[in-house]
Chains A and B, each alone.
Chain A
Amino acid sequence: MIGFLFPRCTNSVAPFWAILLLAPLVDLGAMLGDEPKPEPASRYAHTILADKPIGYWTMEGPEEKLVQNHASSGSALDGRLVKQVMLGQAGPRSPDYPLFSNDNRALLLDKSAGWIVVSDPGDQSPLDFDNGDSITVEAWINLQSLSEGQHVYILGKGRTNNPGVAGENQNYAFRMHGMEGTARVNFLFRNADNRPSQRDDFHRWDSKRGLVVDGRWHHVAFVYTFGDPDSARAVIDGQPGDGTWDIGGPTRKPPVVDNDELWIGSSMGGNPAISFHGRIDELALYRHLVPVERLAERYRAVFPDPREAEYAAAEKLPRGTVEVGLIESVPAQPGSVPLTAPPQYTYRQTSLAFGGVPRKYTASGVIDDRSNPYLLRARSWRSLDAQEGGIYSIVLRARSAAQLFIDGELVAQTPLMSKNADGHEAVPELKTGDRQDLRLLPAGYQEELVSVELTAGEHLFRLDALIGGPGQRAEVDELCVAIARDGEEFQLFTADDQPRRGMREKDWQAIKKEQRSALARLDAIQRQEASREWREYWDRRHALGRELIARQEGIAVPTGSSSNRVHNEIDQFINTRLDEAGITPVAVTDDYEFLRRVTVDTVGVTPSLDEIRQMLSDRRKGRRDRVIDRLLDDPRWADNWVGYWQDVLAENPGILKPKLNNTGPFRWWIYESFLDNKAIDQFVTELVMMEGSTYDGGPAGFAMATQNDVPMAAKAQVLTKAFLGIELKCARCHDAPFHPFKQEELFGLAAMLTGKKLDLPQTSVAQLGDNDRESLVTVSLAPGATILPHWPFPDLSPGELPASFKEGSRGLREELAARLTAPSNRRFAEVIVNRLWQRYLGVGLVDPVDDWDSADDRSSHQELLDYLASRFIESGYNLKQVAGMILRSHTYQRIVEGDAEAALFAAAQRRRMTAEQLLDSLFTISGKQITAELLTLDPQGRRPVESFLNLGRPTRAWQLTSLSNERDRPALALPMAQEVVEFLRVFGWRDSRPNPLTVREETATVLQPLTLANGVVGRRTAGLSDDNDLTELALEEIPLHRLIEKVTLRILSRPPTDSERKLFAALLSEGYSNRIRTLSLPEVEHKTRSRNAVSWSNHLSAEATRIKMEIERQVRQGDPPSERLQTDWRERMEDVIWALLNSPEFTFLP
């Protein structure tokens, strides 16, 4: 019997496991090895054991570190769990899988690559297979993911990378292989030659048929006799089938045999790339060929009728809405997510049109990433009355795989996005579809147009769209379903009772705009909900801060300054100092000037006509304070802060592959922080914790510093400069010569950020050479020196922190954040209020604001600084509180009078608008959109986010970014965005920000006025095109002097002077009365620029270059002028607007 079962076992002494096999196979309970084992009770187990496996792992086992073998070979072949393996997970169960009980259990191998080890009992064990041996192996599997080209191990003998055995020693392996969108049964062994790095010694077999990775259980089996390559067959879900050999091809050579282990779920040392991700159950291994007919009978599955299932799942779905669920961690395969899969997030909208999806947030309310890919599942009922039944055309548009079901039936689908995107493809033709009522199909999108008959009554629509995929960005921006009744125009699918929408370009733009604000509202709610506990923690901390201030002796506000030019305490401090210097403060500005100054300072753009009117119509006392209150509440407050912190925190995303000191685009987190008026200590803490999304806007993006040998040292330098006014730049490579800091101090902080000790790399130490000349620089650390994490500024944040400050106990980063932001660290509060002061007054109370050790005089306004810092801590680090105090002060509202008076704040400083403020003001004045391209070099989303970012379509200046890619290829240019970026750059905005900076270079250059005068941005503002609000103004039926007044107010925020009135009237009166042309056409269709199909995948084609150069020419032309105004008069009006915009008065704040 032994000889029959195991032909190679000729040893006269039967090994222990062979003896065990002599026991009769009748009483299953009694025969299981040398100790009693719980009986595998299921009917299924009886079927398996009847076929006499040598290994049978049912995965039912109660023991936590063991997978029991239920075959007669017994516990010798029990499996040991390694790493992340979860037992007791749901296996195939009744009623869907009727051969199993309703509590059948399986094991789960998670992404982190766990596996199971079965030791080889020794030479010539039942696990060893040689030529002539037959093998059958089978299992139930439920794959969670399998990418194209990936091979994952269900079971393999050898090739473990264990020491003491030959490399690549694969006796046999039963695997699944992702191939053409399905999972194939794959068998692998290595022949006994096993020559090093000889690939052909591997022999690999793939089944021709595969299964779809769909979240369901499948049965897979393989049979083979070694030495007979034609004997290989697979059985998948009851279907036997053939396959093909590759690599070394079919062979009669014997396999490599040794005493290496058998592993379940992984191989090669646990390499995640070849590890099984999903569930395995009922794994059995035989030393004979189980007839394929018998293997086919192992699979029994009963699924409910899809229509009923669909309706059942939608039972609670209300009418009149589209319910959207986002389901994470799904396989990158279409149609693989069961209806019952619970979404991580659900929301509602009115249509099956998706310009975006809500963000995900962490428990501290910062932007997080969804899994890539994830599934967007949208469902909606649609009822058709008796007249509406009939034939409908339906179009589905999606980037990657999407499926549209009506009443459970698949009616349209798009395939997975192709992965090849190496630059050599052809530029896709932008299709108009077959129909004029459909907007152009965006580049990189796929569509299917189908015809279906819909009867009167209620229908359930379901859209399943796979978002992203391995190596692709997970983005939603143009996904939609549109529907047209026979002979009628296409409409976007909207839920019952929702307004119907066309599918032309303007409809899409309108719906996208609505969705943007709806999504922003959803995001705000989500942020709040996700972070409730976190905010409660901050409330407690702020209470502690208030207590601390209450305990301290207050700073006395001086009284009795000689001037009565006082609005609040700030002025008392300032005027007292002026008294000492014998200077009299000047008066405040007039209301127009005040409004322009304070509006730009708070919301970053010049005031609108309405805002001016509103202020003027407020006749009650204190109207300036009410203006300030309104502006502090304005959401544009956030826009005006992002650019500032991008500079200070060196936010530096690169849209094409990492360059020096690139970070993630954590701009979105900055924006949301200021939108929520987040307390600054909380803001800093979140920054230091570096959690959430790296590439999609979370503070984790701050952790990055590409091509930097010690990124955390760069971060420490940013943090100290930003929040302590300490410049450690020089300490990066040596002890700082101009500052009292040693390199060790910087690296101590860097070690805190890293969370462990740091070894100083060679590249971070200055080479001083052995020159005779005495160097001013000293190096106290040697390369390779080890620096322990420590807080190097005991003077600033002394002693132990209260335990409550480290509540989260998230380690050294949290401690660092606490030391930076604790109220006992007065420096932090002082630095922040000083930054505010510098922003509004042009120069800090301590200056430079980010390098206090270089400040000439730190004592001139120390009391005021102290006072403001206390108020700031008291307010719970609320920036708007201190900002309000400053803006309300007489000091802030003073007029500008020469340069000398600005010293000691007797008068205001002349300040130029920042680049962002200028650009945003220009677009506010014209009411136009920035109209830049999508800020990405891969609009098709086919490249990984690690090297191809998409920063979206900018609506405000801070959203722009460097477009420089050092490749000089016209096809990679973004001509529209380029003009905007150049405008910003000329005015001092940094397109790349490898280093932190607070005060930008302010030199006036010739290019500044020139760019405003001749550049595209200025031209678009001054040009009276149909989309310019100034054109509408010029078309109003008002007398000329009112028009002149309105235009001047709109551009300079003040009425025209008498001489300006005369000047403009003289030019514009001629032809004013008949300036308006009556057009014969009912409405001029706005010309839209040709859409751009160029992407990284095709940028090397000549066509891509041609398209981009054509777009560049179009951009240079500016917007086409309106036909509604007589040309000659329009040009004169444009010249007036141009002159107003180019006057220095426009560029400088009043």
Chain B
Amino acid sequence: MTENHLSRRKLLQHSGAVGMMAATQATWLEGAEPPHGKADSCIFIWLGGGACHIDTFDPKRRGDPQGKKAGSAYNPIDTAIDGVQVCEHLPETARILDRTVLVRSCHHDVIDEHAAAVNRVHTGRPPTGTTIYPSIGSVTAHQLEARNDNVPAYVVMGYPSASRGPGFLGARNSYLYLTETSLGPAALKRPHDVTSVRQDRRNTLLDQLRSDYLRRNSRQRKVNNYVEASVAGMKLAGPEFMKVFELETESEELRARYGGEFGQRCLLARRLVQTGVRFVEVSFNLNFINGTGWDTHNEGQENQHRLIRQLDQALSTLIMDLEKHKRLDRTLVVVATEFGRPPEFDNRGGRGHYSKAFSMVLAGGGLQTGQVVGVTDELGKEILQDLVSLADFHATIYAAMGIDPSGLIYDGNRPVPITDSGTPIKRLFTG
């Protein structure tokens, strides 16, 4: 047993006690403050399954799925950024690409299992056996909270998952989720057969039972906290926040421009951000569109273009809609995925997994957009320039939102830096 047994209290008193991880933390720029972006919200679009970079944002020479000739499956087109091309199924996004930054040099080393890669991209670091790291959404919620007391800080449109969870940050930094825009968030939406008359009746009954109970049990912190939470909950389930989910109040024309369910999610994301939600994750893996979603093994490749077109429609509409609402500068839009896909085709004309180089997209958020970060080789397999690690990518998002990527969060008494020595991509920030 060691001689120098430090009590927890002593440790916390220790000035500059930042623990072991911090000791390894390189400052992002010698002698400089980390860049402090001006975005106040983030819409994190998730292309679950692993979107093929060379079939979307990093086009290469044409290949042939049937002839098993390696390469992109589609032709490239020019964009609003000079000399930068994207795939032909992204025409609308191409037109406004100057509002975005293409990061073509993302990479990590997990390909065998989706869950592990999803976790890597959501937490920005490899897992360890002794703790559960929070997702980028939960860290943001923890650091910034909601912009409005009556709304949640973090909303997920997709299925609940461990990778999206708060990890050691605890339930308060978890998400509110919904699996379909028309269903709304499960716990918030009044059951269909409970009319407002019934709800009022219920509330009247409950008020009396609750105040009787409180009278009998005063001076109890746990009870008080629970009652406070239920009052706050009622407010959350009340009209102010629930109105956000009424997409039908938007014009038919705008809704049509956003497109299908994924588009409607993007529209809802805009509304959520407007109302004060900090971080919205929008999952786009509706696998009935092409069978496999973005995980285009085998036959999944055949109709991948339909997915890409939906992405194009919804993403470009979202960016322009945010701009119209004067929120684009303050809303960072991220298009993320767990990994890319190789230029080669499998036996049934689809693609496997590839993580040594892949693309993610940033838009708005007050960044210096209209740039491309990173260059890959002729088939998108090797990164030739500007490697961006997941930690760097996370650091860029955090910095854009004014969060110090080397700040500390605590797992009990263990200090953990927000990113593992991640460095924001410097040229995306002014000054």
Q: Do A and B bind each other?
A: yes
The segment from A95-103, A306-314, A726-734 found at the interface with B is A726-734
Contact of A854 with B by CB under 8 A: yes
B344 part of interface (Cβ distance < 8 Å): no
Contact A1014 B186, beta carbon cutoff 8 Å? yes
Q: Are A1059 and B7 in contact (CB under 8 A)?
A: no
Q: Is B144 at the interface (CB under 8 A from chain A)?
A: no
Q: CA of A1101 to CA of B291 in the docked complex: distance in angstroms?
A: 5
- Would A742 and B205 be within 8 Å (CB), given that A776-B6, A992-B162, A1135-B198 are in contact? no
Please determine whether A1014 and B229 come into contact, CB atoms closer than 8 angstroms. Answer: no
Which of A714, A767, A1011, A1057 contacts B212 (CB under 8 A)?
A: A1057
Interface digits, B3-24 against A, CB 8 Å rule (1 contact, 0 not)? 0011110010010111110111
CA distance A834 to B427 in the complex (A): 58
CB-based contact B228/A1004 at 8 Å: yes
Assess the A1003–B170 pair: CB atoms within 8 A: yes
Which of B36-44, B124-132, B271-279, B392-400 is the interface stretch? B124-132
Cβ contacts under 8 Å, B2 to chain A: 735-736, 740-742, 778
A387 in contact (CB, < 8 A): no
Q: Which of A38-46, A163-171, A624-632, A963-971 faces chain B? A: A963-971
**What is the CB-to-nearest-CB distance from B167 to chain A, in angstroms, rounded to a whole number?**
10
Chain A residues, Cβ within 8 Å of B243: none
B260 contacts A by Cβ under 8 Å:
no
Q: Which B residues between 301 and 324 are near A, CB-CB below 8 angstroms?
A: none
A860 to B132, CA, bound (A): 34
Are the CB atoms of B179 and A970 closer together than 8 Å?
Answer: yes
A738 adjacent to B413 (CB under 8 Å): yes
Cβ of B371 within 8 Å of any chain A Cβ, yes or no, is no
Taking CB atoms, residues of chain B closer than 8 Å to A729 are 130
Tell me the smallest distance from the CB of A233 to a CB of chain B, in Å.
35
Chain B residues, CB < 8 A from A1003: 170-172, 225
Within 8 A of B (CB), among A209-237: none
Q: Which residues of A contact B130 (CB under 8 A)?
A: 714, 717, 729-730, 732-733, 995
Q: In whole Å, how far is A587's beta carbon from the nearest beta carbon of chain B?
A: 15
Interface centre among B19, B208, B226, B291 (most CB of A within 10 A): B226
Q: Which of the segments A198-206, A603-611, A979-987 contacts the partner chain? A: A979-987
Residue B251 interfacial (CB < 8 Å): no
Q: Is A455 at the interface (CB under 8 A from chain B)?
A: no
CB distance from A899 to the nearest CB of B (A): 6
Instruction: Give Cα A1010 to B229, complex, Å.
Output: 9
Kindly provide the distance from the CB of A773 to the nearest chain B CB, expressed in whole angstroms: 6
CB contact between A969 and one of B129, B192, B201, B287 (< 8 Å): that residue: B287
Q: Find out whether the CB atom of A1100 lies under 8 angstroms from the CB atom of B162.
A: no
With A1004-B229, A1057-B212, A1148-B226 as contacts: A777 and B20 at CB distance below 8 Å: yes
A964, A992, A1011, A1132 — most chain B CB neighbours (10 Å): A964
Query: Which single residue of chain B is at the shortest CB-CB distance from A1011?
Result: B187
Q: Residue of B at shortest CB range from A1148?
A: B223
A35 and B371 alpha carbons, distance in the complex (Å): 89
Complex CA gap A456/B158 in Å reads: 62
Contact A896 B220 (CB under 8 A): yes
| Complex interface bits, A886-899 against B, C-beta within 8 A gives 1, otherwise 0 | 00000000001111
Residue in A730, A963, A1139 whose beta carbon sits within 8 Å of that of B206 in the complex: A1139
Chain A residues whose CB sits within 8 angstroms of the CB of B217 once the complex forms: 896, 910, 1148
Q: Which residue of A lies closest to B291 (CB)?
A: A1100
- A741-B1, A768-B24, A898-B220 in contact; A1116/B163 too (CB < 8 A)? no
Q: How large is the interface on A (under 10, 10 to 19, 20 to 34, 35 or more residues)?
A: 35 or more
Q: Is the CB of A1144 within 8 A of B226?
A: yes
Q: Would A738 and B11 be within 8 Å (CB), given that A1004-B228, A1014-B237 are in contact?
A: yes
Which listed residue, A1067, A1100, A1102, A1147, touches B226 by the CB 8 Å rule? A1147
- In the complex, the chain B residue whose C-beta lies closest to that of A1009 is B230
Known: A964-B159, A1116-B183. A1143 touches B191 (CB 8 A): no
A interface footprint on B212-224 (CB within 8 Å = 1, 0 otherwise) = 1110011111110
Which residues of B have CB within 8 Å of A1080? none
Say yes or no: is A737 at the interface (Cβ < 8 Å to chain B). Answer: yes
Check if B285 sits within 8 Å of A1008, measured CB to CB. Answer: no
Q: Contact between B49 and A967 (Cβ–Cβ < 8 Å)?
A: yes
How far is the CB of B109 from the nearest CB of chain A, in Å? Answer: 13
Whether B176 lies near A1007 (C-beta < 8 A) is: yes
Find residues 927-975 in chain A having any chain B CB closer than 8 Å to their own CB. Answer: 962-971, 973
Binds A, one of B72-80, B85-93, B110-118: B110-118
Chain A neighbourhood of B180, CB < 8 A: 1109, 1112
CA distance A992 to B162 in the complex (A): 8
With contacts A775-B20, A964-B161, A1003-B171 taken as known, whether A1060 is within 8 angstroms of B201 at the C-beta atoms is: no
Distance (whole angstroms) from the CB of A902 to the closest CB of chain B: 9
Residue A1084 at the chain B interface, CB threshold 8 Å: no
* CB of B188 closer than 8 Å to a CB of A: yes
Q: B299 on the interface (CB 8 Å rule)?
A: yes
Of A658, A717, A898, A1015, which contacts B186 at CB under 8 A? A1015
A1100 and B171 within 8 A (CB) = no
Q: Is A1142 engaged at the interface, CB distance under 8 Å to the other chain?
A: yes
Is B369 engaged at the interface, CB distance under 8 Å to the other chain? Answer: no
Known: A771-B24, A1112-B179. 14 other contacts (CB 8 A): A657-B113, A709-B129, A1002-B222, A1007-B233, A1008-B229, A1010-B230, A1011-B186, A1013-B233, A1014-B188, A1057-B212, A1067-B201, A1105-B287, A1142-B206, A1144-B213
| A-B interface, 10 closest residue pairs, ranked by CB to CB distance from nearest | A1009-B230, A1139-B205, A898-B219, A777-B20, A1006-B233, A966-B115, A1102-B288, A769-B24, A1105-B288, A1143-B209
Q: List 7 A-B contacts (CB under 8 A).
A: A732-B129, A769-B23, A966-B161, A968-B283, A979-B186, A1059-B208, A1138-B206
